[in-house]
């Protein structure tokens, strides 16, 4: 019998015209010690987290891991996004998703495009977040250094050292977060977790174990 239980489902949000697809892995026995929500970039979906083993790794580490397909992408293509790509989505969008999925307080993993969803949520709903793991997200320049300094949520900034654009821009802005640590993945590009899943999983699980 597997130590991990993996399922698929969908969740309907009030502000969304179609349900969002998600994949979930959790320990087969006993309660999860924390919940992790995995977002994704514009060319990706929850399937990437399944394929590189992040869902399984988190479940084996005692977490309930949910990877959602964002509106208009993956298997949530029928859902209309609450904002245009590159604009900030309403902070309540992820808050409602976490409440509907029973994920609060959540560890939020946010690469690339998903910054348009995660950053408003981070700034407006700190109490709903256990921790924040940005991976070269977009939209970091839409907040001031002072706003970042007021965020107390434990944060792990991850980026690939070959990501000379978004990686460096986001690092510069996110370095103002009050309670942060940084992992630079050597030889990895923008989607650094795909380039070196083992290093990514070690960095993530080490961080979760420190919470």
Set 45, 112, 128, 170: catalytic member: 112
Q: Which residues, in sequence order, are CB contacts of 97 under 8 Å at separation 6+?
A: 11, 13, 20, 37, 68, 103
**CA separation for the pair 201, 184 (Å, rounded):** 13
Q: What is the largest CA-CA distance in the chain?
A: 50
State yes or no: cis peptide before 181, omega within 30 of 0: no
Q: Measured between alpha carbons, how far is residue 53 from residues 62, 104, 177, 182, 196 in Å?
A: 14, 23, 29, 22, 12
CB 32 within 8 A of CB 64: yes
Set 190, 195, 196, 201: catalytic member: 190
**CA separation for the pair 117, 95 (Å, rounded):** 10
40 catalytic, yes or no? no
163 catalytic, yes or no? yes
Set 25, 128, 163, 196: catalytic member: 163
190 catalytic, yes or no? yes
Q: Point out the residues that are catalytic.
A: 112, 163, 190
């Amino acid at each position: 019998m597997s130590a991990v239980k993996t399922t698929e489902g969908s969740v309907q949000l009030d502000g969304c015209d179609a349900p969002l697809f998600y994949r979930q892995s959790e320990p087969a026995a006993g309660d999860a010690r924390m919940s992790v929500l995995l977002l994704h970039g514009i060319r990706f979906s929850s399937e990437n987290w399944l394929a590189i083993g992040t869902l399984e790794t988190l479940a084996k580490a005692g977490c309930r891991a949910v990877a959602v397909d964002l509106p208009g992408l993956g298997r949530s293509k029928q859902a209309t996004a609450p904002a245009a790509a590159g604009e900030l989505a309403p902070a309540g969008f992820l808050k409602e998703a976490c409440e509907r999925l029973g994920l609060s307080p959540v560890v939020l993993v946010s690469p690339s495009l998903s910054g348009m969803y995660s950053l408003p949520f981070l700034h407006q709903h700190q109490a709903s977040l256990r921790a924040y793991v940005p991976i070269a997200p977009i939209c970091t320049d839409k907040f001031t250094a002072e706003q970042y300094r007021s965020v107390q949520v434990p944060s792990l900034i991850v980026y690939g050292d070959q990501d000379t654009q978004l990686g460096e821009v986001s690092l510069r802005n996110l370095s103002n977060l009050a309670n942060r640590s940084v992992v630079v993945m050597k030889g990895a590009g923008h989607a650094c977790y795909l380039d070196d899943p083992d290093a990514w999983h070690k960095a993530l699980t080490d961080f979760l174990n420190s919470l």
